[in-house]
Amino acid sequence: MVIRASVLTHRRTAETSAAVRALVEAARRARSTLCVSEEEAAKHGLEIGPGLTIAPDLRLDVDLCFALGGDGTILTALRRYAGTGVPVFGVNYGEVGFLATVDPNGLGEEFDHAFRRQFDTIELPAISVGRPAETWSALNDISVHRKAGNRVADLAYGLAGEEIGRVRCDGLVVSTPQGSTGYNLANGGPVLAWGVAGYVVSFIAPHSLTARALVCAPTDELTINNASREEAVEVHVDGRPTVELPPGEDVNVTFGLTHATLAQRRGASFYHRLRERFGRLAR
C-alpha cells in the first residue's frame, strides 16, 4: 500500500531530528512518500530525495500525519486535520503525552507498522464556541477566564435553554472526553472515557460551596454569559487566548460538530492509556 504522509514536529529540533530521519527511511522501505513543509525541512536539514518531497506548507491531501512532540503538537495536528478523516499518529516527546500513539523507542518498527496502516483509529469530537459572527473549535477544552488584575469573574450558564446557575469564580472550563484529563481534571472535574458522547463543565476556583462539575448531554447547547456589569473576560480555545467577552454578552458552546481522527496501537484501550500515563506520574 502506497501512503502519502505529512509530519509536524515541536520546536525542540534536537529531540526529534533522528526520528524524522527514521521516518524518511521508513517511507522509502514502504515505497511511500513523506511530504514535508519547507519549515520542517529547514528545521531538520532535509532535502528532496527518494521517499521525501517538500511543499510550501503542511499538506492536507495526505493519508496519514505523524506528530512528533507533546500533547500540544499532537493537538495542533488534530486541529489541522479535523474533519478530513486523516489519522494523526503521535510520538511522545512531551511530559505526559496522553494523546500519543507511541513513545520514542523502537520507532523504526513502529513507523513501518504505520506505513502499512497497522493501527486502530478513534474519532475524537470537537467542541465549538461562538457568537453569531464567528466560531472556533477545540479538541481539548474551551475556557473562560477573568482577566489578569481584574476582580473574579461573574459567569451565568445555561443548558438547552434552561438557566442552571451563576458563579463567581476565576473561570470555567468546558472539556471534551479527551480533554477531560487536562484542565478539567486539575479543577477536580470527572474524567470522561474516550467514546463517551458528552462534555463536562467545571469551575476554576469557584467562590461557592454549591458549584459542581456537570456532565452535559451531547445535543444540549451550553450558553455562557458574562454577568459582570463592568469587566470583560477572556475565552481560550485549547489553551490559547482567542477572544474577549464583554460584560453582558453570551457565547454558545456546541459538541461534536466536527471530529479528528487519532491513530492508536491495535488493541489499545483508554483505560490502559490512563493507567500508563497518570499512574506512571504518581509513582
Burial class of residue 179, CB neighbours in 10 A (0-12, 13-18, 19+): buried
Predicted pLDDT of residue 26: 95
3-state secondary structure the chain: CCCEEEEEECCCHHHHHHHHHHHHHHHHHCCCEEEEEHHHHHHHCCCCECCEEEECCCCCCCCEEEEEECHHHHHHHHHHHCCCCCEEEEEECCCCCCCCCECCCCHHHHHHHHHCCCCEEEEEEEEEEEECCEEEEECCEEEEEECCCCCCEEEEEEECCEEEEEEEECEEEEECCCCCCCHHHHCCCCCCCCCCCCEEEEEECCCCCCCCCEEECCCCCEEEEECCCCCCEEEEECCEEEEEECCCCEEEEEEEEEEEEEEECCCCCHHHHHHHHHHHHHC
130 lies in the same domain as 114: no
Amino acid identity, position 234: E
Tens of pLDDT along 185-208?
999 999 999 999 999 999 999 998
User: Is 80 exceeded by the pLDDT of residue 280?
Assistant: no
Say whether both 146 and 113 belong to one domain: no
| Percent of the chain predicted with pLDDT > 70 | 98
Closest-CA residue to 203 (of 219, 220, 224, 217): 224
- Write down the pTM of the prediction: 0.89
Domain that includes residue 36, residue range? 4-119+265-282
Query: In terms of domains, do 87 and 38 share one?
Result: yes
Q: Which three cell numbers stand for residue 50?
A: 527518494
Note the pLDDT tens digit of each residue in 211-237. 999 999 999 999 999 999 999 999 999
pLDDT digits (tens, 9 = 90+) for 5-49: 999 999 899 999 999 999 999 999 999 999 999 999 999 999 999
Q: How many folded domains does the chain comprise? A: 2
Domain containing 223 — which CATH number? 2.60.200.30
On average, the pLDDT of the chain sits at 93
Are both 194 and 255 inside the same structural domain? Answer: yes
112 a catalytic residue: no
Same domain membership, residue 17 and residue 34: yes
Are the beta carbons of 262 and 88 closer than 8 angstroms? yes
Q: Has residue 135 got a pLDDT over 90? A: yes
Residues belonging to the chain: 283
62 and 103 in one domain? yes
Assess whether 86 and 141 both reside in one domain: no
Whether residues 95 and 144 share a domain: the answer is: no
Whether residues 148 and 248 share a domain: the answer is yes
Q: Are residues 24 and 88 in the same domain?
A: yes
pLDDT band at 142 (very low <50, low <70, confident <90, very high): very high
- The HSE-up count of residue 26 (CA atoms within 13 Å, CB side) is 25
Q: What is the pLDDT of residues 37-76, one digit of tens each?
A: 999 999 999 999 999 999 999 999 999 999 999 999 999 9
Radius of gyration of the chain (CA): 20
Give me the pLDDT at residue 209, please: 86
**Same domain, yes or no: 234 and 276:** no
Q: Characterize the bridge pairing of strands 87-92 and 250-264.
A: parallel
- Confidence label for 282 from pLDDT (cuts 50, 70 and 90): very low
Query: What pLDDT shows up at residue 283?
Result: 46
**Domain of residue 21, CATH code:** 3.40.50.10330
Which of these is catalytic: 63, 71, 112, 238?
A: 71
141 lies in the same domain as 253:
yes
C-alpha cell at 253: 458552546
